[in-house]
Amino acid sequence: MTTMMTDITGATELDALVVGAGFAGLYQLLCLRDRLGLSVKALEAGAGVGGTWYWNRYPGARCDSESHVYWYTFSPELMREWEWSERYPGQPEIMRYLNFVADRFDLKRDIQFNTRVVAAEYDEAANRWRVRTEAGETFVAKFLITAVGCLSTANVPKFEGLESFAGDWYHTGQWPHEGVDFTGKRVGMIGTGSTGIQAAPVIAASAEHLTVFQRTANYSVPARNAPLTSEFQGYIKENAAGIRAVTRETLNGMGFRIEERLAVETPAEEREAIYEAAWERGGLQFRAAFKDMMVDKAANDTAADFVKRKIRSIVKDPRTAAILSDIDHPYAAKRPPIDTNYFETYNRANVTLVDVKAAPIQRITPAGVCTTEAEYPLDIIVFATGFDAMTGPMLRMNIRGRDGVALQDVWDAGPRNYLGLQIAGFPNLFTITGPGSPSVLCNMPVAIEQHADWITDCIAHMRTKGLERIEARPEAVEKWVAEVNDVAGKTLLPLATHSWYLGANIPGKPRVFMPYAGGMVRYREICQDVVARGYEGFALA
């Protein structure tokens, strides 16, 4: 085993440096340290493990993947030792799980917390990455692996006057650890994505009044969260291997399969009964009701129509119901939220919906939020306004490859990489679940394990063969970018023109469909084939 050293400049020298200590960083650290015996460290901006779950502590924060598939599957013992309590794990329980994993595998001793990476530069002569932190420390490593998450750069829209607001404001992705007391407060929440849809019912339960500012109306299906029965907990323990196998066979790494039947060929009455049953069962599984839902607009229209009718049947005030159900994109073309009493929340006397598509927010005033039509006095503003997704966390690290070329410039017109794993001109840099990989279209732990395993096997291969450098070939990048684009174009996903999948939520960001939409199974096969053909598309030296 190589030991950690300090060079003459005082920099810490390592075989590999991992950035991030969420699901991805923890597992990558474990793989490289315990399987390959490398000297490796993880740097983490937060004060603890957890990544996205460390930061997203907003009221109602809960995972949309079901707990029995939202965990690591690399260790059958670990799967037997841990027990989830609910159908969907809440943020505190996920934090307990990740701390349990970190402690069980003694990972924290190799994680440096409260450490934000502010620059990373490849030194070609030395074939090393020099990584600088906010506190001015330098780390030198042969391999740099980013495990920075897809949704970790909070987007607070640049509303004029925000600094003048006399009350308090928070972004859901940077929520105070001590929580926020809404009692007796007039709360305004901007944004109705997955986050806002989870938070609104919980905030409304304690606030004096909640005003939700909705720009784009959104679908949501009931999550139907519930405590897990002891029978199901027992089933999980006994069938750990089977559960792992299923998540490797399904399109999105979930525990359910997409039905083979077609919505357009199913008689209307039967189709309605299928949607009704899916609505009752709840969860992301709703989109698995028909095979053609995400590829045929006519099929999708049947699902969209069903959910819109449900919204109108739940929400009592016809005007509010009309604003909530006036949805302009296909079902699940944006990441589909699931909820607990979201639409029901609008039946409460202390909740108001404001249509900021019709009357946009003009500015924030000392008193509250001002639209083109009215001013809404508030004590607290909650920004559930999402993230500079996928590329944001990578770009803010100021990564420079060969000859000092900035990633910012290489990705000027959108992310360009090979298999979502490597960028041409950035040798020995690997990205976990970045753009160009299934990532956010997949159940994240499944995508993360596949990437970390692939990277680990690749580094092991290099060590066996005495190879020092791996880099994506420009022509392979060219082909992969075209493939990612092409595959997305065969689905309805790009039809949600304002989605964060396309970068459209951030003013000025290039509009490129970022995740690979061909499914986890196909992606895994492609990655395996590339290895079988001697790391085709990569230059190894």
Q: Which residues would be at the binding site for ligand NAP (CB under 6 A)?
A: 62-64, 151, 157, 190-196, 198, 215-216, 335, 356, 361, 384-387, 440, 498, 500, 505
Contacts of 341 (CB under 8 A, 6+ apart): 201
Q: How far apart are CA 531 and CA 453, in angstroms?
A: 12
Q: Which is nearer to ligand NAP, 140 or 446 (CB)?
A: 446
Cross-strand partners of 143: 16
Q: Which is nearer to ligand NAP, 337 or 427 (CB)?
A: 337
Q: Which is nearer to ligand NAP, 157 or 167 (CB)?
A: 157
Q: Which is nearer to ligand NAP, 426 or 500 (CB)?
A: 500
Q: Which is nearer to ligand NAP, 40 or 324 (CB)?
A: 324
Q: How far apart are CA 277 and CA 470, in angstroms?
A: 50
The DSSP letter of residue 225 is -
Shortest separation between residue 196's beta carbon and ligand NAP, angstroms: 6
**Do the beta carbons of residue 168 and residue 174 sit within 8 Å?**
no
* Phi and psi angles of residue 421, each rounded to the nearest 5 degrees, phi first: -110, -35
95-100 long-range CB contacts below 8 Å, 24 or more apart? 95/48, 95/50, 95/53, 95/54, 97/71, 98/22, 98/23, 98/26, 98/49, 98/50, 98/53, 99/48, 99/49, 99/50
Shortest separation between residue 388's beta carbon and ligand NAP, angstroms: 10
Shortest separation between residue 69's beta carbon and ligand NAP, angstroms: 12
Shortest separation between residue 366's beta carbon and ligand NAP, angstroms: 19
Shortest separation between residue 65's beta carbon and ligand NAP, angstroms: 7
Q: Which is nearer to ligand NAP, 145 or 384 (CB)?
A: 384
Shortest separation between residue 159's beta carbon and ligand NAP, angstroms: 7
Shortest separation between residue 193's beta carbon and ligand NAP, angstroms: 2
Q: Which is nearer to ligand NAP, 63 or 472 (CB)?
A: 63
Shortest separation between residue 300's beta carbon and ligand NAP, angstroms: 18
Q: How far apart are CA 537 and CA 475, in angstroms?
A: 8
Q: How far apart are CA 451 and CA 310, in angstroms?
A: 39
Residue type, 67: S
Q: Which is nearer to ligand NAP, 20 or 401 (CB)?
A: 20
Shortest separation between residue 146's beta carbon and ligand NAP, angstroms: 19
**Do the beta carbons of residue 43 and residue 17 sit within 8 Å?**
yes
Q: What is the Cα Rg of the chain in Å?
A: 23
Shortest separation between residue 438's beta carbon and ligand NAP, angstroms: 13
Contacts of 82 (CB under 8 A, 6+ apart): 71, 97, 100
Residue that the structure tokens 């792992």 belong to = 244
Nearest to 200 by CA among 190, 109, 456, 278: 190
Q: How many CA atoms lie within 13 A of 66 on its CB side?
A: 24
Q: Which is nearer to ligand NAP, 70 or 82 (CB)?
A: 70
**Do the beta carbons of residue 15 and residue 32 sit within 8 Å?**
yes
Residue type, 322: A
Shortest separation between residue 343's beta carbon and ligand NAP, angstroms: 15
Shortest separation between residue 481's beta carbon and ligand NAP, angstroms: 22
If you count DSSP H runs as helices and E runs as strands, how many of each does the chain have, helices first? 16, 21
* Phi and psi angles of residue 328, each rounded to the nearest 5 degrees, phi first: -105, 5
Q: Which is nearer to ligand NAP, 90 or 377 (CB)?
A: 90
Q: Which is nearer to ligand NAP, 188 or 415 (CB)?
A: 188
**Do the beta carbons of residue 448 and residue 522 sit within 8 Å?**
no
**Do the beta carbons of residue 283 and residue 336 sit within 8 Å?**
no
Residue that the structure tokens 């009309």 belong to = 322
Residue type, 473: R
Cross-strand partners of 57: none
Shortest separation between residue 3's beta carbon and ligand NAP, angstroms: 40
* Phi and psi angles of residue 301, each rounded to the nearest 5 degrees, phi first: -55, -35
Nearest to 70 by CA among 102, 23, 27, 104: 23
Q: Which is nearer to ligand NAP, 85 or 528 (CB)?
A: 85
Q: Which is nearer to ligand NAP, 62 or 416 (CB)?
A: 62
